[in-house]
A = this chain, B = another copy of it.
Amino acid sequence: MSPRKAKAVLEAIIFAAARPVPLKNLAAAVGWDEYRTELLLAEMMRECQHSRRGIELRKIAGGYQYTTKPWTAPYLEAFQRPEVTSGLSQAALETLAIIAYRQPITKVEIEDIRGVRSDSAINTLLERELIEEKGRQDGPGRPILLGTTQRFLECFGLAGLEDLPPLPKIPNK
């Protein structure tokens, strides 16, 4: 394998691996001996030192791994707290509406009304602190009861739950 092709293969392998990749494995992948492979890796490490590059190739725990350069840390931190500006999905809104009007209510009751499993919608609402546990229901399994939070009231500009709009009449059949 040509040095140029070997470089590309090494880059791809080290990039795709979750952990540092031992020299032995890298040499086997390109079919070179370890000494020559190590020289090539050293060249790749030097190339990453260029100021235009944001990542570097490092020898870590007996293997090779790409890491971001330390000076980029402040820019990465902004991504550690992902700002979520997106609204709620239709499924989450539906679930929230049911909880708001029927609280306290169990997951099973919600799923019966919606007709579909609602774990992910409920998790989303819990994560956003729009709903919370309100104790447990008596009875088999003592299922968790869910209800809306203070935050829910704030988000919708409600003084209290009694402030929820009355429901449009549903024709009885």
Q: Flag whether A76 is at the interface (Cβ < 8 A).
A: yes
B80 touches A11 (CB 8 A): no
Inter-subunit contact A80/B133 (CB<8 Å): no
In the complex, A18 Cα to B80 Cα: how many Å? 7
List of B residues within 8 angstroms of A156 by Cβ: none
A: number of interface residues (CB 8 Å) = 40
Q: Would you list which residues of chain A between 1 and 52 have a CB under 8 Å from chain B? A: 4-5, 7-13, 15-18, 21, 25, 28-30, 51-52
For the complex, is A78 an interface residue (Cβ under 8 Å from B)? Answer: yes
Asked if A51 and B17 make an inter-chain contact with CB atoms under 8 angstroms apart, the answer reads no
Contact B15 A90 (CB under 8 A): no
A143–B137 Cα gap in the complex (Å)?
32
Which chain B residues lie closer than 8 Å to A21 at the CB level? 79
Cα distance, A66 to B15, chains bound together (Å): 9
Residues of chain B within 8 A (CB-CB) of A4 are 51-52
Is A62 part of the binding interface, using a Cβ–Cβ cutoff of 8 Å? no
The reply to whether B17 and A54 contact each other, CB–CB distance below 8 Å, is no
CB pair A52 B90 closer than 8 Å: no
Residues of A whose CB lies within 8 Å of any CB of B are: 4-5, 7-13, 15-18, 21, 25, 28-30, 51-55, 66, 68-69, 72, 75-76, 78-80, 89-91, 132-136
Interface pairs (22), CB distance under 8 Å: A4-B52, A5-B51, A7-B52, A7-B54, A8-B52, A9-B54, A9-B72, A11-B54, A11-B55, A12-B75, A13-B72, A13-B76, A16-B76, A16-B79, A16-B80, A17-B79, A28-B78, A29-B79, A89-B132, A90-B134, A90-B135, A90-B136
